[in-house]
Chains A and B, each alone.
Chain A
Amino acid sequence: MTNQNEERRQESLQHQLNVLVHFAGILPLILLLGTYTRGELGFNPIEMVIQRTGRTAVAFLLLSLSCTPINSLFKLPVVGRLRKPLGLYAALYATLHFAAFSIWDYGLNFNLIWMEIREKPFIIIGASALVILIVLAATSFRFWQRKLGKWWTWLHRLAYVAGVLVVVHYLLATKGDLFSLQGDYAAPLIAGGVLIISLILRLPFVVRSLRKFFGQE
């Protein structure tokens, strides 16, 4: 294929993937609104919304964090570029998650909210992850990329810090004892596992050996 055709093919593929991501990004919100209008939010609707938006945020963050490793491993820049829209959806759902907690649950009682944030590690950690995601979302435009130069790359590596914070937040929200693995730990542990794999896959020597294995070198 000529270079031009190859480029066009890549662009079209990128476009299709972007559409897919946006569809997947909006879907959970539509489903949640559907559940709400059908009156099926259950007996503790606040808890259900907080949990669903939280889980969706975790899922999108992990998907976003896996884009670069997948790109390195399989040379798929089209996937690599999906980290931005996926990350933005993670920030969206994290914001909705915090809004459900602060507005719907705590009625914007700033005293109470501040007390929880200040005192409870699980909330401090969640709030920190949210702050990172919002800052990353706000600086995700090319304008900031130019303005911050090399600091932009450093800043956006904080996405991995957010990933760790979010997994810890999830673990701390679960009833039970983590260290003896007693309790309802399946979901947060899986999230942790995916995160660790994404982190490992960023290590250059891991990428090199795996690429040799897949016959890419």
Chain B
Amino acid sequence: MGKNKYQSILIQPGEVTPKHIYQSRRQFLKQIGVVGLGTMLAGCAWPVQESEPVPGGISTDSRIDDLGDSLTSLSAITGYCNFYEFTTDKESVDELAQDFVTKPWSVEVSGLVNHPRTFSLDEILENFDQEERIYRMRCVEAWSMVIPWMGFPLHKLLEEVDPTPEAKFIAFETALVPDQMDGANSGMFPFPYVEGLRLDEALHDLTLLATGLYGGPLPPQNGAPIRLVVPWKYGFKSIKSIVRISLVADQPPTLWNTIAPQEYGFYANVNPAVDHPRWSQATERRIGEPGRRETLFMNGYAEEAMSLYEGMDLNNQI
């Protein structure tokens, strides 16, 4: 509800629509065919609808997400980033990341898999169809954005390498290149940045390996050339600039959980009922909008992702 600015492209009943978009709560949102259209147009140049940076946060792109929220502007998404390897100043990352070399790039996939291999980025883009997914991102610092990612579900990559039955978790690692990253040797963070998921979380269709945003390739400050996006978890789980993926038997370490285990959990599912020890998670600031809004359980993806956590008491879990 609210702003009725969305393109009136109709989806025909027979067309394939990604499940998370289809299962919207509001009947009229089924009229948003843009994401389905994006799937069909994968491989074509998707028009970037913002030709120039828009001051402020709300996009001139009038599309909305599955809950009816507007997209965050490209300038905000690329201008306000947490990428501490470069700097802790969110609005300086874009400048400092310009010299980050992202070509050539390879992702080594190893560990408890039957077909370990190293993928070059070109191989990834060729072998896996990229589709657009509009996801909300909720930072643990209590701000959020709506981002039109381009990417493919992680499970497609995992199917290629075929995890063994012993594999229960998946670990990711970010590139660490001190001569291109000013903050890499600050001593304040135990880089390289590492993250992890439980295998079933990794295999979920929502879990995305993103290679682009707003129809173009990922800018360096957003985790070029390939990153993870797990929309129902706090943003720090969505690890950037991935160089290594390994399938492991035990829960892997994650950077923020290593720094402060009482504050940043391994699961880190968005939950307004579970406060950060030092600040509340009940509300958030949507970049580009005034005031605050209520934080949604699992960032609004509970319907899709809740089944992963049957038997777990999420209200007692950070």
Contact = CB atoms under 8 A, between A and B. Distances in A.
Given A120-B280, A181-B188, A107 B91 contact: no
For A39, A122, A172, A183, the residue with the greatest tally of chain B CB atoms inside 10 Å of its CB is A183
B279 A122 contact: yes
Contacts, number: 70
Contact of B188 (A106, A119, A176): A176
Contacts of A123: 279
Given A39-B55, A119-B280, A46 B190 contact: no
B300 interface: no
Contact of B80 (A42, A121, A175): A42
B287 interface: yes
A44 B80 contact: yes
Contact of B79 (A43, A47, A119): A43
A115 B292 contact: no
A36 to B, nearest CB: 13
Given A43-B287, A105-B292, A183 B280 contact: no
Interface string A94-119: 00000000000111000010011001
B294 to A, nearest CB: 10
Contact of A175 (B57, B79, B91, B141): B141
A115 B280 CA distance: 9
Interface string B292-314: 10000000000000000000000
A122 B278 contact: yes
Contact of A43 (B260, B280, B288): B288
Contact of B287 (A39, A44, A175): A44
B115 interface: no
B96 to A, nearest CB: 15
Interface in A166-211: 172-173, 175-177, 180-186
B57 A46 contact: no
Interface in A17-44: 39, 42-44
Contacts of A44: 80, 90, 143, 285, 287
B88 interface: yes
Q: Looking at chain B, what size class is its interface with the partner chain?
A: 20 to 34
B70 to A, nearest CB: 15
Contact of B291 (A107, A116, A172, A175): A107
B280 A105 contact: no
Interface in B54-78: 55-57, 75-76
Interface in A34-66: 39, 42-44, 46-47
Contacts of B88: 184
B129 to A, nearest CB: 32
A141 B43 CA distance: 73
A105 to B, nearest CB: 7
B242 to A, nearest CB: 22
Given A43-B57, A115-B280, A176-B260, A185 B91 contact: no
B22 interface: no
Contacts of B190: 182
A21 B219 CA distance: 44
B189 interface: yes
B213 to A, nearest CB: 15
Contacts of A183: 188-189, 259-260
Contacts of A107: 291-292
A43 B91 contact: yes
B188 A182 contact: yes
A172 B278 contact: yes
A142 B30 CA distance: 70
B114 to A, nearest CB: 38
B256 to A, nearest CB: 8
Contacts of A180: 259
B83 to A, nearest CB: 13
A46 B91 contact: no
Contacts of B292: 105-107
A123 B278 CA distance: 9
Contacts of A172: 278
B278 A120 contact: yes
A185 B88 CA distance: 11
Contacts of A182: 188-190, 259-260
Contacts of B76: 43
B35 to A, nearest CB: 25
Given A44-B285, A176-B188, 9 more contacts: A42-B79, A43-B57, A43-B90, A121-B278, A173-B278, A176-B259, A176-B260, A182-B260, A186-B188
The 10 closest A-B pairs by CB, nearest first: A43-B80, A177-B260, A43-B76, A184-B88, A182-B259, A122-B278, A177-B259, A42-B91, A107-B291, A43-B287
Interface of B: 55-57, 75-76, 79-80, 84, 88, 90-91, 141, 143, 188-190, 259-260, 263, 275, 278-280, 282-283, 285, 287-288, 291-292
